[in-house]
Amino acid sequence: MCGIVGLHLRDPEWYPRLGRLLAAMLGQVAERGPDSAGVAVYGDRRRCPEGYAAVSVLNAPPGLADAVSGIGRYSDQYQSQVLITEAGATTVVAAPMTPAELVDAVRAAAPEALVVGSGSDVTVYKGIGAPGRLAGVYDLVNAQGWQGLGHTRMATESAITPAGCHPFSVGPDQCLVHNGSFANHATIRRELIAEGAVFDSENDSEVGARFVASRLAAGEDLDKALRGLCERFDGFYTLLVTSADGFAVVRDAIACKPAIIAETEAWVAMASEFRALAELPGIDSARIYEPEPERVYAWLR
């Protein structure tokens, strides 16, 4: 079943309200996914200051900040500048490095940790349990930024673990959440592995995320990457995909999984059910519609 919510803010005056609005939306789809909940927030400078990168990890060992700041060539420049935020199963590490440098530093300092998100703008949180409780663990109501998405999961294709939670963030500042099931994910997984991809879970949604990431890395935009996914993937799905400057929604050819979009001059919102949008300020004057099958809806910052 699963529940999806997403909010893309067009008006900077709304940025301080992002977390509170997203938390309220997430609560309205909790019944669709009681197993776990994950969120991603773009632009939350509490957790990822300007000039920093952030890496979200699972299975973080104690003392990770000291270990990261003391790694090789990073030790002199970054000593005492590493920020650590613990949020349940997720630990967010931030430092004044590039995202690639910080990912390398985290993996060198904690080989047993699993990187589940990275970028200069995004912080990703994953955990199992009731979505309402997890929103509190993530301190979602106090998050600020320009874009966010959330997912409540009812597992069908893989185990209920933090690693199997959505969103899947496998490229810098990229996220994907999915309601549905990909029928041919095993075939595409093998193809991506042959191209060099390394997978972190057995979740079919991760296959979609890595497919999109490979297309974006090749220079495609979100619209073209998701049109390619529609051509290549079988099954039923509603997807919300975000990047450093974009927010996109697409459904399969049958469109049996619910989705609704609302737009105003101040924001664009998407959810699995209207009730997740009903309390957004300005919803009474919003343009509200159901996305058409296999049509990509995309917005840029």
Q: Kindly tell me the burial class for residue 272, based on how many C-beta atoms sit within 10 Å of its own C-beta (0-12, 13-18, 19 or more).
A: buried
How many CB atoms are closer than 10 A to CB 78?
19
Q: Taking the CA atoms of the chain, what radius of gyration do you get in angstroms?
A: 18
Tokens 């450093």, located at residue: 244
Please choose, from the candidates 62, 61, 108, 102, the residue with its C-alpha nearest in 3D space to the C-alpha of residue 81. Answer: 102
Phi (first) and psi of residue 276, to 5 degrees: -75, -15
Among this protein's residues, is 2 annotated catalytic?
Answer: yes
Q: Both ends of the chain: CA-CA distance in Å?
A: 30
Among residues 2, 48, 165, 175, the one annotated as catalytic is 2
Q: Are 153 and 201 in contact (CB under 8 A)?
A: no
Q: Cα–Cα distance between 146 and 173 in angstroms, integer?
A: 13
Write down the H helix ranges in 147-265: 185-194, 204-217, 222-232
Edge to edge, the sheet with strand 53-58 lists 83-87, 90-95, 53-58, 114-119
- The partner residues of 246 in beta bridges, in order of sequence, read 300
Q: Are 53 and 98 in contact (CB under 8 A)?
A: yes
CA trace torsion 137, 34, 28, 132 (10° rounding): -20
Q: Cα–Cα distance between 201 and 103 in angstroms, integer?
A: 18
CA angle 179, 130, 33 (to 5 degrees): 20
Q: Catalytic amino acids?
A: 2
